[in-house]
Structure 1
Amino acid sequence: MADPNEPTHLTGEEARGGATPHMTRYILGMSLVLVILIFAYLLYR
């Protein structure tokens, strides 16, 4: 059992419990473009 007074050092991937692919930035970007297009369509129809 680990000593509770000793600090635990984890890497970023160990702390998250897995890999983090960089797809989120693309999904957010595409969603933003789609929302702008939908609002523009609704404004000018």
Structure 2
Amino acid sequence: MQRFEDHDELTETEASGGVKEHGVRYVLGISLFLAIGLLSIMWIIPAANSSG
């Protein structure tokens, strides 16, 4: 980090906290897919049983 009179300048790594991995993207995608699947099952099963 370089300090100037009225501001500090950070490098790209310092500004991002050093995190460059994309694992979070996969966790969020899988979680979203599972949540949609679970909520769909919770909706479809009662609807199929009550229509008969």
TM bucket (normalised to shorter chain) is 0.5 to 0.7
The number of equivalent residue pairs is 44
- Identity, in percent, stands at 34
- Bigger Cα Rg: 2
1:19 aligns to what? 19
TM-score by length of 2: 0.60
2:43 aligns to what? 43
Q: Which aligned runs of 4 or more in structure 1 are off by greater than 3 angstroms?
A: none
Q: If each structure's strand is expressed as a fraction of its own residues, which one has the higher value? A: 2
TM-score by length of 1: 0.66
Q: Structure 2 unaligned segments of length 5 or more: list them.
A: 46-52
